[in-house]
Structures are given as C-alpha cells and as structure tokens.
Structure 1
Amino acid sequence: MNLASWVERHGRDLRDRPAIAVGDRTHATWAEFAATVAAVATGFREQLGLEPGDRVAIVMANRPEYLEAMYGAWRAGLVAVPVNARLHRDEIAYILEHSGTRAVITDEAHAGDVESLVSQVDRVETSVRVPGPQWDELTGMAPSAQVDRAPDDAAWLFYTSGTTGRPKGATLTHRNLLMASLSYFADIDPVSSRDSVLLAAPLSHGAGLYGLPHVARGAVSVFPTESTLDGAELVSLLTRWPGMSFFAAPIMVRRLAGDPSVVGADLSGLKTIVYGGAPMYLTDLEDALTTFGPRLAQIYGQGETPMTITGLSKADHADRAHPRWHERLQSVGFPRTDVEVRVVDADDREVPAGEVGEVLVRGDVVMSGYWNQPDETAETLRGGWLHTGDMGSFDDDGYLTLRDRSKDLIISGGLNIYPREVEEALLTHPGVQAVAVVGRQDPDWGEAVVAFVVVDGDQPPTEELDRACLDRIARFKRPKEYHFVESLPTNNYGKVLKRELRSRLAEDVAGQR
C-alpha cells in the first residue's frame, strides 16, 4: 500500500486532465504530475542517497512543488514531515532534529533559516531550494519503480504541540491516511475527477489532509495566486474550477462570508466548505450559512487521528426545522464512520448522555504512536483508545458537544498555541519572576493570547517582553496583552489556577459592555 499509487494511476487514466493549478492556470496535467513525482522519487534515492523509511521535511508555503515533494517522498518509500512554515527557526530546528530528518525541501522565503540548520542539526544532510538548480536536477531524473510500503509503515509525521510545549510527532501510517480519505467520502462528500479542492490553508495541517481524498479521486488541486485568499479571487476561481471544496479555520470562513465580493455573488461552483480547528461562534455560523447556503460541514479531529473524530454534516447545517437546530450547530456533530467515540470519567468508565467527560477515540485512523516517544504513546493510547484530552458530552441523539479543552490549549486564527512554550519564552527575561498564559475570547481570531506577569523589581517595557518571545517562538504565539499582577492564584499544591485568570478576563470583558 502506497498513497503515491493514486498519482501513478491518474497519470495513466486521466492523462490530459488538470491535476494542479495556480489561479486559473493549469500547472500540471495528471500525466505531468505523475512524471514529476516519479522523477523526484528517483532523485531522493539516487541524488540525495535516501533510503525507504528516511524522513524528508517540507518547510515552505503552499505551492505546487509541495505536492510534488510529498508524493515523491511517498513513492520513494520515505516519510514526509510537513512543517508549519510560520514557526520560529528554533522550533523548526527541534522538529528536524526530533524526527531525524535527512533532507529538507524549502522555498526562497524560508531558505535562510533552513539552510543555516543543515550544519547544526544532527542527520540533516542537505536542503533543496524551490525553485532552484537542485530541484531542477531532482525533477529531471529518470523515473524508477515505486517502493512498496506496508499499511502500517509511517507516511506522515504530524507535529502537534504537547502539554510541555514541545512538539510531538504523531506517526500517521499509509493505512491511517487511507482511512481518513475513505471516511471523507462516507461522511463529508463524494468526490469525482470533475471536482476541485482549493488549497488556501497550510498544507502542513488540515488543508493537506483534506487534499488527500481529492487527489485519490483525481480532482484538481488549486492554489490561490496570493498567500491570503480574498473574496474576489474565490469567486473567480469558482468560475474556472467548479465543484470546489476547501478547508478553512472559522476565522477564514467568517472573513469570506462578510467579503463584499462574495455576498450576493454566483456561488454555484462552490461545493463544500469544511471548517474546524477552532470554535465557530453561533452568530458567525449563521452569517456564513446566509452567505454560502447549505455548503458548510464541520469536523472535529486532531493530528493524532487525522481530522477524523466527529462531523456535523451539510444536512445538519441545513436542517433549520429541527427543534434543536441551534443546539446542534454548537456541537461538533456525530462520530465518523471509521471510528468509535466514547466519553469517559477519570477511570475511563463511560458516562451517560449529558454528562461531561474526556473524549476517547478508537479506529484504524488513529495514529500508531508518537515518534520516538514510547512513554507518551503508552499514556495517550492506554487501553487501546486515543485519549484526546478534550472534554465533552453526548446528547441523547449521539451528537458530541465539546465543553472545554484540556491542557489549556489556545486556538488563535485556527493555529494551536500551548501556554507553556510562551511562558518559557517570557521567563527568559530577567525581570519576569512568574508568568501564566491563558486565552481570552476574541471576535476576530477566536482566542487571543494573554499573559499574567509577576515582575522582579521594576516593570519591564512590553516591547522587551515581546522581544523575549520573538527571539524564541513564532510571532503568532506572542501575547496580545500583558497584565502585571502581584501574584498568581494557586491551589494548595502550588499549581496556578488558570481558570481564575480566565474568569478575570471574562469579567473585564463583561464590565466593558
């Protein structure tokens, strides 16, 4: 089993049909895409000396070569490590070192960081810049036979932050990704070779995963011409590439729903918007339904079970006559076809409908484990179930509603931010004695990062605190607000009570209304 078989098959059966497009222009037909993937696979093995099972990282913005590199890696029997291109250099370095990456594919915007790491990170032997002469050499190689892979061989290391703030590599196998793709057909949408998928969100996360079922069925993968998709380009692309679906964080859905170019436009070419990764507020969802009509589907998932736990279907969104329609819109839907989902208490005993507990998942889509982290794997997969760390409850009809996110995860603009890594960055400032980071509700970003700081001596300028963060973590993780306090609330064991800090923020917001 090798996911690259999809590309090889369509290279024969759909030779002259478009496979990849940029804006309204065809970048490659299926025959051309298949030929490039085959050449890159040969280049990885013969030019770069990589062997089956080796890891290849991809650190670049969305562009056609991203897909060519990823499917080329799979054809060569390698493991792809897609890295969030917005991460700080040090965060990228950690992922490369932890994964044991040997080669990195990057672009002009990220080449400076990546190339400086080649001599510093163990095992990283080379980087290939796209575009560039070395990439041209890879794509010019003669094709060789596809490497067979077993269903449980690793295909994608999906790096997601853990409770310590250090990323963990969820090991996704060829079987995992195949099951996630089949589940898409079962629960979200059928896909045909006449359809298209718009790759506007980062390919290192949800957009990459939801691009898979469209490649599997021979649909065209479309890249917007600009890094930020606007309403005018969306409407234009719908005319050129009908049957279009795309994955988006709620903030992106909200922005497009209010874009004057979209409101009232001909959206007949739009098939489905799959949203997830952060809470969607009810008013925003109703506005989006008004603009887009019954074309929205919600998913709830994690990197550990690639975006496949529950789903709220397009039919659920459209069922306004249902007496609990609003309640269902605030849920994350019904368990997906390929998984079992339970809600349990602290002893992993299933709780009745209406009672809150931790969400557990089991199925062939669940990761094989965390890369080189056996203790964390055993803890998260204990008893044969993925322990998500998310708290939720089922209703009597089997719809799951998330009540709280454990581990204090902050989701801002659809991106995960763990407080610990922000706190550690701030604690490097000599004037910071203690710090606690929490999220507060934000109408534009879903949540905003807020830091409560106890100082040692004079209060440092916020610019210095910003610099402590920017020197160590990605810009989007930097706090939007600083609150200077005399002490942090703690329990009898000395643990900071972040719930109290969030309550303070909520009271402040309420007092301003």
Structure 2
Amino acid sequence: MSTDGHREAIVGGDTRLTRSQARDLLFRLADGLVQRGIKPGDGVGVYVGNTPEAVLLNLAVHLLGGRLVYIPPEPGPAELKALVERAEVAGVVVDPEFGTQIDGWHLQDLPGEPEERTPAPEFSTVSYTGGTTGLPKLAVHRPNRDIASDPRASMPPMNLLCNTLITHGSGASTAKAALLSGSKLVLGPSKFDADTFIRLARDEQVTMTVFVPPMMYEVLDHPDCPGPQFSVMVGGSALAPRRLRQAIERWGPVVNQGYGLTEALGITMMPATEIDLDRPDTLRTVGKPHPLMEVETRDGDVWVRGPFVMEGYWGEPPLSETADGWFNTGDMGYFDDDGHLYLNDRSKDVIVTGRTSDNVYSRLLDDFLVTLPGIRQAAAVAQPDEALGEAVHLFLVTDGSDVDVDRIRDSVVAELGELYQPRGVTIVDRLPLTNVGKVDKRKLRALFR
C-alpha cells in the first residue's frame, strides 16, 4: 500500500478507511487468525460479502502464507458443507450479515493486536467453480514468480468502483488493482443494485468501474444512467454487440473487455481503443491473447496455457502433469486472420437439436434477439424434446411493449436459419442471475426437469 496514510483506501457501506487505518486493520485481522492457530500453508475459508473488513481479511490470509478459500453464496447448505470438507480448511471466517448458511469464526470478532508482520513468501488462492459431476471443484492459483512485476502497480490512482463480489475473480482482481495502484476502492453492495451504483458513481466521483454484462445492461436501461464519467472494464460472460455499441455511444470509447474464467483469470483483452463502430466485427471479438498467454482452438474448443492458468483442482494432479499445463476452457470459438478470438458459446450452453443433432450456439441467438424491437434481454436454453433431443426455448425480458412471438420466430429463422427456430417462448420480468451477476442458464434449464 502507499505510504500516503491519510488518503482514503477503501469505502464500503458506512465504513471509510484511510490507508493507515486499513494497514492497521490488516495486521489486526492477521493476528486474530494467528491467535486461532492459523499457520503458513493452512486453508482458511471465507464466507464474506463486499465490505472493507472482508477485503483486508483476504489479504491477511495471504500475508500469513495461508491458502485462501473463497466460499461462494450460490450453493445450498449441503453443497457448501461438501465444499468446505473438500477444501480441507483449518477454519472458516463468516460474516453473518452476508449469510448464515455455514458456521465459523465471526469476522467482526476476529481482529487482534496490530502486530506488524513480514509477508510470507508463498500463498495460494482457491476458488469454487461448478462441475458437471455435482461435486464442487476448487481451482488453485499461486502467485507466479516469473512475472517480473504486477502491471497494476504502475496504474495511476483512481476512484475504482467494484460491482462484483470480492470473492469472485473479477472482484478480487479489482480490489488488488486498487490497493496496488494507490487508488480508492469503492465497494458496491454484495448484490448489485443499479440505483446504488448510480449514487456511488456520483458521490464517490468514480473514474473506473468493473461490470459483468447484465450489470452494465441494468445501468444502461436505468432512467438516470450517468453520462461520460468513468472508464469501464467488462467481462465474465458474453457481451451482446448491440449493448456494447449502446455503452460506447453513452460513455464514449472507454469500454474495455477482458475474457477469462475462474481457472484462467486472464486470457484475452480487447482495449476500448481498438473498437470501431463502423466495423461490426470489432464489437464481437474478445480481443487478442494476453502476451504472456498461449491460446489455441482445437476442434472448436478454446485451450489456454500460461501464468494466469490455475495450478490445477484441489485434490487432483496439477495440469503440468496431466496436460502439459494446457486447460480446456469449455468455451467454443475461433480466430480471425488478425489473431482476434471470437467466442461462439459455452460448450454446456450449446443446444443440440434437429434430425442430425446439430449445434445451436445460444450466444449467437441471445445476441440477435436483443436487436429486435421491444426485447431488452434474452436467454436461449435447451428444453428436452422427444423428437429433437433438445429444442430451443427463449426467455425474454421486454421493455413493456407487446411482443409478437410469431414475428420473433420468423425473424430468427430469417437471420439464423431453421435450426435456430424457437419451439417455446417465455416472457419474464427478469432473468435469474448468479450472485456474481451472470445470467443463470442452469436455473432456467432446471425449469424443464
């Protein structure tokens, strides 16, 4: 952290901490963990929301050389219990104001003495990612010593508003970027709210913010959507080209895209300066690979290798032993001749339908649907069908106007072909989101079971 101790470091809720106060609380939280027996290498689960204390708790675990295990809010109690057992932690810190699904040491009771400590040379971070087997999977990341310095440390100080959970990849990276660059970190609520975002952006004079796409859409659709004020980083899920154009027209050429996932935190970047509204292809690409990353497509699947890829899943052999460091992202895509990557869909979201079991890429359908009059958001998912295997079903959020379902079907067929024809359409008030703000297609598919 900067030695400029009187400057504000972290703002969240009713709490405002200067850099000196944050440093003091960091050491007190670390001491509280030591008093509870935490040693280098021990796992510490954290079930916390977006508060200044939680940001510093995460740093305290790393300061002690611990294994920081993010416990997400999405699973139910049984899956959370399985996750904690699988992670083999020495203790869990919980914030009862965030949730009461699991027990542990209360964050509010944790601080001890402000004993200054030398940072441990090694630590790790473990993040939950949903698996297809029903068991929680835990991606392990360690600091990479081959990277000479973190480029975020050279960023100019900003007022940086974090909208995603700090126990999620984008939120954790945002918090680290703010602290390394000497910026003021402004924490949005644990559950995103556009009204609160607009108030914080105004009151805290925010100059940069981080979204996942549904959050950005909600702000763009808000009657009090702010004008040009901040630069934007958006990632975490597919971004509809029409919505990207809308954001640029509203805020200017300041919308940067990043593509990554829990297992591979930084894969590609598409800087705002490379987006050209007169070239639609620049609105669809997720950019070029990070210089330190290798990215390949194999039979349509995106594979990655490099320092931002996880070591492996906890309890399983490392990728270096099983796949020479390569990881299959689960995304399907392709490169153009200039080296830009385009994503078609998540493999688990592809709808396999028709007499010849062809692939319908739900992302292409989602992106097209929001260009139609009256449709604000869209999610295409697979519905079981005896004749077709799977059929295309649409969930649509409208702007309040009447929507002609037959016209939607005709427009889809005209643009994308018969294979993409929706067999069912459901109008909803809003799409379900995960607690990190992504459209929860798994929950939509579960409606058909």
TM-score relative to the length of structure 2: 0.76
Check whether the contact 1:172–1:367 (CA below 8 A) recurs between aligned residues.
yes
Tell me which residue corresponds to 1:366. Answer: 309
Number of the residue aligned with 1:93: 81
Q: Secondary structure at the match of 1:328?
A: helix
Distance 1:409 1:370 in 2: 25
Distance 1:300 1:253 in 2: 16
After superposition, give the CA deviation of every residue in 1:2-40 in whole Å (9 maximum; x if it has no partner): xxxxxxx42xx12111011126x6611111111111111
Aligned mate of 2:106, from 129, 136, 141: 129
Compute the RMSD of aligned alpha carbons. Answer: 3.3
1:475 aligns with none
Q: Residue 341 of structure 1: SS of its match in structure 2?
A: strand
* Residue identity in the other structure for 1:88: G
- Please give the alpha-carbon distance, in whole angstroms, between the structure 2 residues aligned to 1:167 and 1:245: 33
What residue identity is the alignment partner of 1:246? T
Secondary structure of 1:67's partner?
A: helix
Q: Is the Cα contact below 8 Å between 1:56 and 1:73 reproduced in 2?
A: yes
Gaps of 5+ in 2: 352-360, 371-375, 395-416, 428-449
Structure 1 pair 505/162, CA: closer, same or farther in 2 (3 Å)? farther
Pick the aligned partner of 2:291 from 308, 312, 337: 337
Corresponding residue for 2:207?
Answer: 244
Report the residue type matching 2:51 in the other structure.
R
The equivalent of 2:246 in structure 1 is 287
How far did residue 166 of structure 1 move? 2.4
Aligned equivalent of 2:406: none
The match for 2:412 is: none
What letter is aligned with 2:132? T
Of 18, 30, 51 in structure 2, the residue corresponding to residue 41 of structure 1 is: 30
Q: Does the 8 Å CA contact 1:84/1:202 hold for their aligned counterparts?
A: no
The AA in structure 2 aligned to 1:299 is: G
The alignment partner of 1:41 has SS state of: helix
**Cα distance between partner residues in 2 of 1:160 and 1:21:** 28
* Amino acid paired to 1:290: E
Matching residue of 1:260: 223
- Contact preservation (8 Å) 1:238, 1:267: no
Say if 2:5 is the partner of 1:15.
yes
Cα 1:509–1:330 shift into 2, 3 Å:
farther
Instruction: Tell me if the contact between 2:12 and 2:187 (Cα under 8 Å) persists in the aligned partners.
Output: yes
* Conservation of the 8 A alpha-carbon contact between 1:22 and 1:224: yes
**Is residue 251–residue 446 contact of structure 1 (8 Å, CA) maintained in 2?**
no
8 Å CA contact 2:31–2:112 kept in 1: the answer is: no
**CA deviation after TM superposition for structure 1 residue 53, in Å:** 1.0
Q: Does the Cα contact within 8 Å between 1:180 and 1:365 map onto a contact in 2?
A: no
Alpha-carbon distance, 1:243 to partner: 5.1
- Pairs within 5 Å for 1:49-68: 49-68=37-56
- Identify which of 107, 111, 118 aligns with 1:139: 111
- 2:289 is the alignment partner of 1:320: no
Q: Distance in 1 between matches of 2:76 and 2:148?
A: 30
Q: Secondary structure at the match of 1:212?
A: helix
- Larger helix share, 1 or 2: 1
The answer as to whether partners of 1:18 and 1:30 remain within 8 angstroms in 2 is yes
Aligned to 1:447: 379
Q: Give the Å deviation of 1:399.
A: 0.4
Does the 8 A contact of 2:295 with 2:305 survive in 1? yes
Q: Which amino acid aligns with 2:339?
A: G
Find out whether 1:174 has 2:143 as its counterpart. yes
Tell me which amino acid in the other structure corresponds to 1:334.
Answer: K
What letter corresponds to residue 137 of structure 2 in structure 1?
A: K
Q: What TM-score do the two structures reach when normalised by structure 1?
A: 0.67
In the alignment, is residue 160 of structure 1 matched against residue 132 of structure 2?
no
CA contact (8 A) 1:19 1:33 kept: yes
**What 5-or-longer segments of structure 1 have no aligned partner?**
1-8, 116-126, 346-356, 411-437, 453-484, 490-496
Residues 382, 391 of structure 2: 8 Å contact kept:
no
Give the aligned length: 386
1:378 Cα deviation from its structure 2 partner: 4.8
Match of 2:197 among 218, 221, 234: 234
Cα distance, 1:292 vs structure 2: 1.9
Alignment partners' CA distance in 1, 2:96 and 2:130: 26
Write the distance in 2 (CA, Å) between the matches of 1:41 and 1:341.
Answer: 38
Could you tell me how far 1:66 is from its partner in structure 2? 1.2
Which 4+ residue blocks in structure 1 deviate beyond 4 angstroms? 178-181, 375-379, 438-446, 448-451, 497-506, 509-513
Deviations 1:45-75 (A, max 9, x none): 12x1111111111112211121021011111
User: Which of 67, 70, 85 does residue 82 from structure 1 map onto?
Assistant: 70
The one-letter code sitting in structure 2 at the alignment partner of 1:216 is L
Q: Percent identity?
A: 25
The letter for the 2-side match of 1:389 is G
Amino acid at match of 1:191: M
Taking the aligned partners of 1:114 and 1:510, their CA distance within structure 2 comes to 39
Looking at structure 2, the residues matched to 79 and 506 of structure 1 have their Cα atoms a distance apart, in angstroms, of: 46
Which of 328, 336, 355 aligns to 1:387? It is: 328
SS at match of 1:101: coil
**Alpha carbons of structure 1 residues 290 and 501: separation in structure 2 relative to 1, 3 Å:** closer
Q: Is the alpha carbon distance of 1:498 and 1:170 closer, same or farther for their aligned partners in structure 2, counting shifts above 3 Å? A: farther
